[in-house]
Amino acid sequence: MIKVSVISLIYRSARLADWVYESVHKFTPMIARGEAEFFFVANDPTAGLVRHLEERGYPHVININARYTEEELYAHGYGKPEYMSRVYAGYNEGVRAARGDYVALINSDNYFSPDWLENLLKYSDRGRVVTSTLVEREHPVFSVFPGAVHGEFGDTPDTFDEPAFLAFAAKIRKSGLEPDGAYMPALMHRDIAIEAGLYPCGNIAGQSFDEIVSHGDQAFYATLRSLGVEHVTALDSVSYHLKEGERDDSADESETRLLTAEELGITETIITPHPIVSSIGAVADRLIPLPSHLEVTAFSGARTRSKSSLSRRVDSAAEVALHGKAERLKRGVERTVGKRLAAPVMAAIHSVSWIVRPLRKKMVSRRLR
């Protein structure tokens, strides 16, 4: 059974594809055991890259994004640079294609160290997105990300100093967590990422396309935080970031041609506007308590009339969880239909929920026996 899907975007570099593929498989024994999968999202790829992925037998999905002008992106709530809309859309498609309960999102210029994934998993729960301690070189333009650790171990696969990096990782590794940090590599529950609406399709614009009020990953993590999911960094999961991006590495000009959705027989991925507004159906689904909440209430409902202090605490936890869910439902309905219509829509949803909830509770009770 696949527990984790490790997902990397790739665009044009066969060399980077080999590098990250080898690194992931070298330091992720869960893949060999069948407990994790790895695949690329070939995101607006070149013909040469796709041919390379196919020849090497690398698992991949192909994503072709619709192209938007700056004016169109701004009308949807997004700002510069244009290409970031396609980056975030690619990760979203990867999450949708994943088979694991968890997704681990990585960059194509990340390199890993022993136990990087296991040390993300051991801290994970439904209230956390856990990221690696990221080691970065001093980039001449972008410097070092504020949540990263500085370390000079190369800027390309050919200059990367693996022994020095692994020695450095072993030196700085320690048990524990810190709040916030870098945004990738990141481990999260797939269903929670989808419930949060996934990444916005670009950086969030202010008064103009050139004014950015929030980067897309910041906005996504803020949405997760509003759902009660905190961002933490695992101090014993260490990864390196070349911080150079991808370059065409094919000498054949025909190999650098971008593939189109039409020739591949697939549909272009379109952007979703910001802020992401839930559909009525999705909002209705959120009224029904999650199985974990039902298990808590079934346990605390107890087989005895006098409840212990433990069962009373479980009751309280269930009430808090369900209250938070109800508040998120109410906000989602208001965003969807407006405050004026929210009350009758909520009443209609509640009337339907009384039909569905007993059936789901009965199903959970059977699983608990």
In the chain, pLDDT over 70 holds for what percent of residues?
Answer: 79
Instruction: Break the chain into its structural domains and give their ranges.
Output: 4-264, 280-368
Question: Mean pLDDT lowest for which of 35-49, 57-71, 305-319, 325-339?
Answer: 305-319
Residues with Cβ within 8 Å of 65's Cβ and at least 6 positions away in sequence, in order, are 43, 44, 85, 86, 89, 90, 268, 269
How does pLDDT run across 148-199, given as a tens digit for each residue? 999 999 999 999 999 999 999 999 999 999 999 999 999 999 999 998 999 9
**Gap between the Cα atoms of 202 and 83, Å rounded:** 8
Tokens standing for 246?
Answer: 């991808």
Q: Confidence class of residue 306 from pLDDT cuts 50, 70 and 90?
A: very low
Q: Confidence class of residue 247 from pLDDT cuts 50, 70 and 90?
A: confident
pLDDT of residue 328: 64
How does pLDDT run across 52-83, given as a tens digit for each residue? 999 999 999 999 999 999 999 999 999 999 99
pLDDT of residue 352: 59
CATH class of the domain at 4-264: alpha beta
Q: Is the pLDDT of residue 208 over 70?
A: yes
Mean pLDDT of the chain: 83
Angle at alpha carbon of residue 182, lines to 177 and 188, rounded to 5°: 70
Greater confidence (355 vs 214) lies with 214
Which range is most confident: 169-173, 248-252, 292-296? 169-173
Helix (H/G/I), strand (E/B), else coil: 46? strand
How does pLDDT run across 136-146, given as a tens digit for each residue? 998 877 778 88
Q: Is the pLDDT of residue 257 over 50?
A: yes
